[in-house]
Amino acid sequence: MEILDREIDPEQAWMGSLITAIAALVGSAVVFTEQVYYGFLWRYFWAPVFADAKGADCVAYLRDTGEVVEPATCGLQNAYVASPGYTTVSTVAYIIVLLYMLVGVYFLLDRFDLGPVRQFVAALVPFMLFGGAFRAVEDSFVAAQFAGVAPPIAFPASALLISPFIYFTVFFIALAAFLLSKWLQWAGMTESYQWPVAGFGSLAFLGAFGYLTALSVTTDYVGSYPLVLIVTIGLATALSVGIYYGMEHYKPEYNAGTAYVGLIVIWAHTIDGVANVIASDWTRAFGISGPGYGPKHVVNRIIIDVTNAVQPAWLTDIIGDSWTFLLVKLVVAVAIVSLFDDEFVEENPNYAAMLLVAIIAVGLGPGTRDMIRVAFGI
């Protein structure tokens, strides 16, 4: 009874449950290799990354022979087949993992004095841009393979630059920058940690973007379509600013809790929406040849499928079928911003900061990747 009466430390409970879950998953994969590892972990999580890194339409685990192959056709029988991108199973699993890991991040942030919520969130925005650019760097590796050139980082190491693993990669890089910046503040070398964090993130982004720019000048497999960047950023900024100040005029209470961070939230998801529309429907208008780009996310595919089912074919031929994804992004972004009222942010600053960072990251990261990928034709 004495043990039951003790209060359970939330951090210890979280860490204990994490270790237990990992041990159970690893144990199950070892004991039931084909069913758990190949039928679940490999099929829905590792194989899509493998196929993405190889630039393959799909990869398959042949249950009869135990071989992993890149088949000529993806409609194999008696095999676990996986394609690049997300499935309903992997999407749900990643959402669960994200929510679970956010609890751990909250415990971590609770150990620090973050200062003003808005400044903390804004300081991390360059790292989200870096994440998208870093992911596009891996796209250049695939383009290099198709051109018969050995990429500087080969699979499986390149998996660290592919979703979902890149989220962990960027997180630990950003965490290192945050800890170093807090040390600089503690040592009296800077008055605030936010500017160093933003500086480290900006340097990382410029490094990744500069690498792609250099490839566009020195190789044939990376192109250069700067108008894509101009149109994407320009249109996303115009829409975001218009919506934000429209809210400020008609519904000022929506912006009360987040202020300018609300604008960043809307801009992040508008970048994602505009980049998707251009990648899916308008690459030819920018002079980009090739097979084009298609949606890899389940929600995106569902929205496009619904649009095609409702929208007349003649209209789709004119405006495309991905514009509704941008519309959904705008509506969802405004709805999210409206939830962060002044009272919530003031009473739960670290929790609000963590949520805002995550919300911006899941929009700006993929959106930046899509924008940069199309801008370099990779």
Distance CA 71, CA 3 (A): 56
- Residue corresponding to tokens 């190889």: 54
**C-alpha distances in Å from residue 323, one per residue of 17, 287, 375:** 42, 20, 19
In the structure encoding, which two tokens stand for residue 129, read together?
């841009």
In the structure encoding, which two tokens stand for residue 313, read together?
């074919």
Distance CA 256, CA 248 (A): 9
pLDDT at res. 6: 60
Question: Residue 159's closest CA among 74, 68, 48?
Answer: 48
Q: How many CB atoms lie within 10 A of CB 244?
A: 22
Distance CA 139, CA 154 (A): 12
pLDDT at res. 75: 85
End-to-end CA distance of the chain: 63
CA angle, corner 76, sides to 72 and 77, nearest 5?
160
**Looking at this protein, which amino acid is placed at residue 93?**
A
Whether 68 and 37 have beta carbons less than 8 Å apart is answered as: no
Q: pLDDT in tens for each of the 378 residues of the chain?
A: 454 456 778 999 999 999 999 999 999 999 999 999 999 999 999 999 999 998 899 999 999 999 999 998 898 889 999 999 899 999 999 999 999 999 999 999 888 989 899 999 999 999 999 999 999 999 999 999 999 999 999 999 999 999 889 999 999 999 999 999 999 999 999 999 999 999 999 999 999 999 999 999 999 999 999 999 999 999 999 999 999 999 999 999 999 899 999 999 999 999 999 999 999 999 999 999 866 687 778 888 899 999 999 999 999 999 999 999 999 999 999 999 999 988 899 899 999 999 999 999 999 999 999 999 999 999
- Residue 337 buriedness (CB in 10 A; 0-12 / 13-18 / 19+): buried
- For strands 79-82 and 59-62, give the pairing: antiparallel
Q: How far is CA 259 from the centre of its chain?
A: 24
pLDDT at res. 291: 63
CA angle, corner 73, sides to 72 and 74, nearest 5?
130
